[in-house]
Every structure is written in structure tokens, then in C-alpha cells.
Amino acid sequence: MAQQEGLTLLQFQKKFSSEEACHQHMFEQRWPKEFCCPKCQHQEYYFIEKRKLFQCKGCKHQASVTAGTIMHKSHTPLLVWFWAILLVAHDKHGVSAALLSRELEVSYPTAWLMLQKIRNAMGDRDANYKLAGLVELDEAFFGAPTEGGKRGRGTEQTGSGGRIAPTRRWPRKATIISPSNLT
């Protein structure tokens, strides 16, 4: 797998310049081709502007673009979440809740909660989806593969078992990736 180029701060700021842009990005993450109802697979929907929900025309199920991500059911704007993810991923020494609170103009408890969620997500295998497809984590972080997952570049698996505990660790490298095309 080719290493993806990270977005620069300016590119990031340009791409995600509004809440709408972030929302659009989330939509593309969840439905890369077109809307598809998670309940009945119907492809037509009504958009409920106020609650930012997609209601299936077939079964009336209401789907959210943030389902399965750390932003689900949060009242914090996506834009703020995106920047929080960016800041946390960029700073290897660990961003503090106080800094997030100050820079993103949210209360300390909100910043603290966001920080916990982002850090927890970074320890997961589906981190990328949980973090809105914004962050690519260094493979080395995950240690030995599970469920026959393929590894890149002839990594030797000694199978010495138990040496790498499947615990949550801080990624060695997290890159803000460029999802789909930059517009």
C-alpha cells in the first residue's frame, strides 16, 4: 500500500471550510456511491435539514452520516470535531484538553470528552472510519495481524505469541489523509 500524502494545514482548512463541507465529506464516507438505506437498501431519501438526517423513502428509517463515528449524537459541530482530530493526530506529544478548549472555543468538559473519544478511536482497528476517514494510522501500531489480514512488505511473523499485547497504544504515526479528491 502506498503511503498517502498527508494534507497540509492549508489544504485541510480549504477543504473543510464550512459545516456543510464537513457534512458532505461525512456523507461520502458513509455512502461512497449513493445513499443506501441501512435498513432496506432503498436508495431514495428525504433530507431533514433541521436534524441533518436522511429519511429513507422506502421504510422511513432515519439515517445519520455520523453513525459509527466518534461524532455520533454529539452536539458539537463537525467542523470543530474535524479540527480536534487534526490537532490530536498532528501532535505526537499529546494535545491537552485545555488546548483544544482554547483553540476550538469549546468548554473544557466538551474538549476533554472529544479528546478521550479521539484517543480511544485511535486504538481501534476501524479507527479510520470512526475518525471520519481523516486519519491514517501507521501499520506498525497495530502489531500482529488478526483474522488473516494481509500485511505489507514481507513482515516476518515469528508468531512468538503474546509479545505484542493487543492493547491500546498511541500510534507511532498518524497522517491526515486526503479523502477522495481535493476540490
User: Which residues form the interface with Zn ion (CB under 5 A)?
Assistant: 37, 39-40, 42, 56, 58-59, 61
* String of DSSP letters for 33-102: SS---TTT----EEEETTTTEEEETTT--EEETTTTSTTTT--S-HHHHHHHHHHHHH-TT---HHHHHH
**Minimal distance in Å, beta carbon 91 to Zn ion?**
41
Q: Which is nearer to Zn ion, 36 or 79 (by Cβ)?
A: 36
Q: Which is nearer to Zn ion, 57 or 119 (by Cβ)?
A: 57
**Minimal distance in Å, beta carbon 58 to Zn ion?**
4
For the chain, where are the E strands, in sequence order? 45-48, 53-56, 62-64, 135-137, 174-176
Q: Which is nearer to Zn ion, 52 or 90 (by Cβ)?
A: 52
| Nearest alpha carbon to residue 25 among 82, 72, 70, 74 | 82
**Minimal distance in Å, beta carbon 180 to Zn ion?**
25
Q: Which is nearer to Zn ion, 27 or 141 (by Cβ)?
A: 27
**Minimal distance in Å, beta carbon 37 to Zn ion?**
3
